[in-house]
Each structure stands twice: as C-alpha cells, then as structure tokens.
Structure 1
Amino acid sequence: MPKRSAASGLFADIKNDMVAMAGEFVGTVLFLMFALGAVQLTAAAQPAAGAGTQAAGDASGKIIAAFYVSAAFGISLFAFASVFFRATGSIFNPSVSLALVLTGVIKPLRFVLVSLAQMVGGIVAAAIVDGLTPGKLQAGVALSNGTSRTQGVFIEMFTTAGLVIAVLMLAAEKSNMTPLAPISLGFTLFAVMMFSVQFTGGAVNTARAFGPACIAGFDDYHWIYWVGPTLGALLATAFYVFLKYVHYWRVNPGADSTEEEGSPMQEV
C-alpha cells in the first residue's frame, strides 16, 4: 500500500477541520436556537423579568422557571450532541474546545476554527430567535438576586468546570460510558444551570452569552462570561491532567466492566 504523502495528509487534515467547523456551526445553532427559544418563552410569560433566564414573581414561579430553562438547555444539548457526536464531537462551547486543545484531543487549527464557528453560531441562533418571536430578545444572561461580579465570575468558573470535566471524562476518555456521553452531558448542563441560572443567567458557555448580547446589547460586566468559563476550562483541565498523572483507572479497576467475572462473591 503506498504511503500517504505529507501534502495529502495535510490536505486531509484541513478538510476534516473544515467539516468539523461546519458541523460545530450547525450544531451550535440548533442547540442554542431551541434552548434560547425556551428562555424567550419564559421571558414572555413573565414580562416583569429582566434577562429571560432570571425569573420574576414569587418563589415558586422562580423555581419553576429555573427548572424549565435548565431542562431546556440540558435536553437541547442531549438532543443535538447525540446527532453530531460522531461527526464533530458535539462541542458547541469554546470553553470545551479550549480544554480539548490543551489536552491534545484536537489540534490548534481545529480549536480556532470550531471556536469561531461556535461564536458565530451563537449569534445566528440568537438572531433566529429574535426574528421568530414577538417583542425584543430577552434570552440573554445577566447578574441578578444581588450577585456581585466576583461571585458571578466564580459561579461561571465552577459550573463550566463541572461541564468540562464531564466532557473530558465521558467523551474524551474512552470507556463503556462513551456512547452515553451525550445524555450524561445533557444532565450535567441541566444540573449546573439549576444552580447558576438565577444568579448569573447560567451561561456556562461564552458563545451562549455572546450571541444574545450581539443582538440585545452588552452589559458592562459581559467580560464575566469570558473570564469565568475560561477559568473553568483551565480548572477542569488541570484536574483531568492530575487524574491522568496518578493513573486514576488503577484506583477502582474494572468499574466500567460488563463482564460477569468481575462481580464479587463468584464462588458463593
């Protein structure tokens, strides 16, 4: 079999990167369009609210709205991550892309291309929701309930770290759990947003915050949604590197095995 030349190999890599870029753009648009549409619905149902992700009204109404928005994002991520998982890895998030390039899962060129696709996808998704729904776009993120900017940064950092470590351990790491990664990531996003949505709007994704801001305007603390998720990606990456360094798979060997021989008390 003839060896592949360096030029043909480079061309194939660039072609694959462009396909990944296109897939990430479409996937991000679909993921965020339906999720942001749910936020817009929540805002329409409670016109006294500010940003759509922060609910107005009594305590029960806020809890229901937080649950609804968080579930919408989690289910949308599960749905479209399942569709694009084999094609692009279903990243849909520049912070996840950052963690993947730092751990060597993707190369720098793909990181730049898919991150650009995700940011543009966020803008397009917000523009579609703005065009298809009545009234002004209210699907952005904002600090609320007395959350300070410092608190906002750390909330976004820890929630993003939770999502990124899930991506690294369930999708980047290959095991029997890998085929189930999309549903696991959907539940992870749902869980972290249940905490953050009423404090920061639950961005957990710079593209998610940036897209609506391009349509509806930027707050003077918009930088929170860049710094927080980036720090979260770095934190999760550092923890993942630590786990690999200590050979975590030796701590609980066979945890993902489906072989009956691995069960305890075989001779009883």
Structure 2
Amino acid sequence: MPIRNIAIGRPEEATHPDALKAGLAEFISTLIFVFAGQGSGIAFNKLTNDGAATPAGLISASIAHAFALFVAVSVGANISGGHVNPAVTFGAFVGGNITLLRGIIYWIAQLLGSVVACLLLKFVTGLPTGSFALSAGVGELNAFVFEIVMTFGLVYTVYATAVDPKKGSLGTIAPIAIGFIVGANILAGGAFTGASMNPAVAFGPSVVSWSWESHWIYWAGPLIGGGLAGLIYEFIFISNSHEQLPTTDY
C-alpha cells in the first residue's frame, strides 16, 4: 500500500546537490510555463482590448498552456521529473514516489518560479497579470469540486504516462499527454474557475496583483485531486502489479 512507501527523507537531502539541481530545474520549468501561459493572456487582452473572456480567448489560453506545459515538462523530466506543479508533487509524495523534504524543495522552487515569471511579465509589458477568480454565478463549492476533478485527471495522466514503471514506450509521449489534458481541461473549466489545476500558477499572479479572493480553492482543490489520483493509481495499478493485456484482447 502506498502509505508504507511515504518517506520524510533525511535532513541532508535538503542540501544534496542533486536535490538542489532538481529544485532549480523545477524553478526554471515553472517560470517557462507561467511566463508563456500568463503572457498569452496579457497579449490577447492587449490585441483585443480586454477580450480574453471570449471563446477565442479561451481557445488561445488552452493552446498556449498546452504547448508551454509540454515544453516545461520535457526540459525538466530528466532532472526533476518535470512536475511543474505542487499538486503533481503532492500526488507523487502520497504515492511514495518522492520524499517530503524533496517535495518541499520542489514546492518552494515552483512557487518562486511562478512569482518571478509574473514579475517579469509585469516589468516587460507594463501590464498587470490576471489573478484567478470565479466567474459570475459560480459558487465556491462548485469551483472547488471542479478543480478537484480537473487536477485528478491531470495527475492521473502523469502517473499513467510518466510514473508507472510499466509505461514502456508510452513514456515518450508523456509531456504531450500532460500538456493535452491541461489544454482540454482549460476548455472545460476555464469559463468557470479559470482552470488552474496548479497552486503555483494561481499563486504567482495573486502575489503580484495582491488579489486573494477565493484563493483557497486553487490550493485545496488541486491538492485533493492530485492526492487522490496518486493514491488510487499507486495502490490499484502499481502496488498490485498490474499486467498489460495481450494485444489480442483489445
């Protein structure tokens, strides 16, 4: 059972060169992702006179985030695993695939990467970064469940394509699959919650704009969804040593 594999880690891990390199990789990957994702929204607003909250704006955000996450995961995969998301790191932790201390290093790096990306965007564009907020008529409970479900799908995809030891050649398309599920979820949830699925993505803009309305949703929802996905996939499919079906069976 995954709970047996959960580890705090040793204190020296916090200063080990490999852990610090992995943290730096997470910082850079998150900076790349948030800079491109937030930047696309700022650019779209500039070109359309604040028209991001339109169908075209939603599609633009979906494509930009899918492409940017594909790259961010790819460039970090060989160093840190390419988490780029505290919810992914938490899902890996509860599944026993990363220690708590290493996970904290990742979290700090991811949050700092998001804040720096938003500060850079504000400096180079002279325009504010848009913080996440609920759309009119969307209740906090609805948004909370929405973020849980979307992040569950994201972290489940991460486990299936990148973490599962039996992923085989499927691992080569993991960054694409991860980018695609985020893009698809933005199309589904962007008009309701902004479709964060990532506490770091919500944290950076909130710090720079100092806007914290309903911010708890963008932490609690993704962490619960990511944790559930990690536990379910690790316990049911990995710990019980699933075997792939013969190709003749499907």
Q: TM-score range by the shorter chain?
A: 0.7 to 0.9
Could you tell me how far apart the structure 2 residues matched to 1:21 and 1:106 are?
Answer: 13
Q: Map of 1:189-208 to 2, 5 A cutoff?
A: 189-208=182-201
How far residue 238 of structure 1 moved from its aligned partner, in angstroms, is 2.9
Paired letter, 1:89: G
The verdict on how the C-alpha distance between 1:245 and 1:19 changes in structure 2, with shifts beyond 3 A counting, is closer
Who is 1:135 aligned against? 127
Residue 150 of structure 2 is aligned to residue 159 of structure 1: yes
Paired letter, 2:119: A
Structure 1: which 5+ runs fail to align? Answer: 1-9, 56-61, 255-261
- Tell me the alpha carbon deviations over residues 161-209 of structure 1, each in whole angstroms, 9 at most, x when there is no partner: 1101111111111322012111111111111111111111111100000
The verdict on how the C-alpha distance between 1:161 and 1:13 changes in structure 2, with shifts beyond 3 A counting, is same
Paired letter, 2:245: P
- Tell me the alpha carbon deviations over residues 17-75 of structure 1, each in whole angstroms, 9 at most, x when there is no partner: 111001111111111111110011122234456xx5xx0xxxxxx22211110110010
Could you tell me how far apart the structure 1 residues matched to 2:64 and 2:25 are?
Answer: 21
Is the CA contact 1:159–1:232 (under 8 Å) kept in the aligned structure 2? yes
Paired letter, 2:55: I
Could you tell me how far apart the structure 2 residues matched to 1:11 and 1:223 are?
Answer: 30
Q: Map of 1:11-30 to 2, 5 A cutoff?
A: 14-30=16-32
- Flag the structure with larger Rg: 1
Is the CA contact 1:25–1:120 (under 8 Å) kept in the aligned structure 2? yes
Residue 42 of structure 1, aligned match among 41, 44, 47: 44
Could you tell me how far apart the structure 2 residues matched to 1:230 and 1:12 are?
Answer: 22
TM-score, normalised to structure 1, is 0.82
Who is 1:58 aligned against? none
| Higher RCO (Cα < 8 Å, 6 or more apart) | 2
Paired letter, 1:126: C
Residue 58 of structure 2 is aligned to residue 90 of structure 1: no
How far residue 135 of structure 1 moved from its aligned partner, in angstroms, is 2.7
Residue 66 of structure 2 is aligned to residue 64 of structure 1: no
Runs of 4+ in 1 over 2 A off after TM superposition: 10-13, 42-49, 134-138, 241-250
Is the CA contact 1:93–1:207 (under 8 Å) kept in the aligned structure 2? yes
Residue 208 of structure 2, aligned match among 211, 215, 220: 215
Is the CA contact 1:17–1:109 (under 8 Å) kept in the aligned structure 2? no
Q: Which stretch shifts more, 79-88 or 209-218?
A: 79-88
Residue 91 of structure 2 is aligned to residue 99 of structure 1: yes
Residue 218 of structure 2 is aligned to residue 225 of structure 1: yes
Could you tell me how far apart the structure 2 residues matched to 1:113 and 1:39 are?
Answer: 29
> What is the CA RMSD across the aligned residues, in angstroms?
2.1
The verdict on how the C-alpha distance between 1:200 and 1:12 changes in structure 2, with shifts beyond 3 A counting, is closer
How far residue 247 of structure 1 moved from its aligned partner, in angstroms, is 3.8
TM-score, normalised to structure 2, is 0.87
Residue 35 of structure 2 is aligned to residue 33 of structure 1: yes
